Amino acid sequence: MRKTTTTSINNAEQYKQKLLTWSQQFDEVIWLDSNDYDDRFASYDAVMAVDAFTIFQTDYYDAFDQLKEYQSATKDWIFGYLSYDLKNDVEDLSSNNFDGLHFPELFFFQPKKLFFLKGNTLETHYLNFVSDELEQDLKAIDLVDFSRLSISNTTDLDEPISEEHRVKIKLRIHKDEYFAKVNEMLAHIHRGDIYEANFCQEFYAEDTVINPLETYNKLNNISKPPFATFLRVYDKYLLSASPERYIKKEGLKITSQPIKGTAKRSADKVKDDKLKTALSIDIKERSENVMIVDLVRNDLSKTATKGSVVVDELCKVYTFDQVHQMISTVHSQVTQSTHPVDIIKTTFPMGSMTGAPKISAMKIIEALEETKRGLYSGAVGYFSPENDFDFNVVIRSILFNETKKYVSYSVGGAITAKSDPLKEYEECLIKAKAMREVLEN
């Protein structure tokens, strides 16, 4: 039984930092922040779940059916993630590439303590409520020294750092090898094996120690994305500046918002507007997006009521601090009897991170990529007691295994018949820019 309370706060942005800093005492933390982005589908400005009462984690085998049992039995808020490699549960596929991070393939927990922020209102949901516990926690959060946070919260990435502590980024796939692999993928496209595939590459650092909270704050402050995430599972961390929603269920309505199409920003407004306009009319980028929209429509139709799958927005360009992105919005309706986990299982992995046809694309991706994706291009989010859910896409993210001292971030792009390997490589560098700056400075 959860005890729910509502409290007013004075400074929401400051309170977010206090709340997130206070959370670092727990082994299980999920923080989701919209950064006040104008998202008409958002339920909250920020959500934090900490301190597991129950935990469910597994490898890919029978993962979705086990998650279905856990979610049905819990009948409560559960927060967690789905790794990309759960594809092996959905289809007859495998993941044999190098893995330096070793995240569990699926992890969910039922939090003892939940915090929801909307404007200047804080709503708390405490499980097995103990008298005075909430009051003590709120007092401890309020006493967090915000003056100390400003050091970790700095966006001055030009401050010099000693060579001893500098993160040394390596490439898993070097430029010439990247060109060769893209050309191999283009050969598959020209043969008709696939129409499009999302090809990713890893950047990594070994024997490295970072401050996860400080790194997250820096990444979030230079990106301000609508699906920012700080996740801690014991010694493993996800620090994400994701701009993409994978899928949301609210009542009987399902919303998916795939991203395909990226353009850099300019500090000059006239140039920036031209970059945005150029993206909106780019034939290659639009064709990438439309192909994935078709895939998403097909995936949603597996659980949708007849005739309910509709495209609300097609190839609309949204602007973020680092990039312009082309996003489409697809809706469907489901029946009351449709299990929420079945909706995710029939759409996973998300089309924007796979390709079309989906299974063929995933097989080719596995053959050409050098790294197991793991949590990258998976999803983080939650299920509510009412069987609603909301999940992002894990992109623009830094992953860290503290025990193994291994840091990783991956980027990718859609390869189609019109792809130029050099331009695809340059797009990857644009997407990687924020992560690299945060880690190397």
Please pick, among 28, 105, 244, 424, the residue that the annotation labels catalytic. 244
Element (H, E) at 6: strand 2-8
Task: Respond yes or no on whether the N-terminal peptide bond of residue 212 is cis (omega within 30° of 0).
Answer: no
**Strand-pair category, 389-392 with 379-383:** antiparallel
Neighbour-count burial of 169, counting CB atoms closer than 10 A to its CB (0-12 exposed, 13-18 middle, 19+ buried) = middle
> For the chain, which ranges sit under pLDDT 50?
150-161
Q: Which two tokens stand for residue 256?
A: 């998916």
H helix intervals, 143-233: 146-152, 175-191, 212-223
What are the extents of the domains in the chain? 2-145+159-440
Q: Please state, in angstroms and rounded to a whole number, the distance separating the CA atoms of residues 410 and 200.
A: 7
pTM above threshold 0.85: yes
67-87: b (≥16 Cβ within 10 Å) or e: bbebbeebebbbbbbbbbbbb
Fold assignment, 2-145+159-440: Anthranilate synthase (3.60.120)
C-alpha distances out from residue 246 to 188, 251, 257, 440, Å: 27, 17, 6, 29
pLDDT digits (tens, 9 = 90+) for 322-369: 899 999 999 999 999 999 999 999 999 999 999 999 999 999 999 999
pLDDT tens profile 403-419: 999 999 999 999 999 99
End-to-end CA distance of the chain: 46
* Paired tokens of 345: 């299982």
In the residue annotation, 244 being an active-site residue is answered as yes
Annotated catalytic residue, options 260, 363, 372, 431: 260
Residues 6+ apart with CB under 8 A from 105: 58, 59, 60, 63, 83, 85, 86, 374
Q: What is the pLDDT of residue 322?
A: 86
Rounded to whole angstroms, the Cα distance separating 266 from 6 reads 42
Return d(Cα 441, Cα 438) in angstroms, integer: 6
SS3 403: coil
Contact of 315 with 355, CB cutoff 8 Å: no
d(CA 285, CA 57): 37
| Distance of alpha carbon 430 from alpha carbon 200, whole angstroms | 14
- Given a contact cutoff of 8 angstroms between Cβ atoms, the answer to whether 369 and 358 are in contact is no
pLDDT for 151-207, tens place per residue? 343 334 444 445 556 799 999 999 999 999 999 999 999 999 999 999 999 999 999
CB 209 within 8 A of CB 405: yes
Question: Is residue 71 a contact partner of residue 344, using CB atoms and an 8 Å limit?
Answer: no
Which DSSP string corresponds to 295-316? HHHHHHHTTSPTT--EEEEEEE
- Nearby residues of 231 by Cβ (< 8 Å), 6 or more positions away: 29, 30, 31, 81, 237, 238, 240, 380
Pair 200, 376: CB distance under 8 Å: yes
Length of the chain: 441
Both tokens of residue 27? 């082994």
Cβ contact 261:279 at 8 Å: yes
pLDDT given for residue 149 in this prediction? 52
Whether 260 is catalytic is yes
- Closest by Cα among 317, 260, 338, 265 to 292: 260
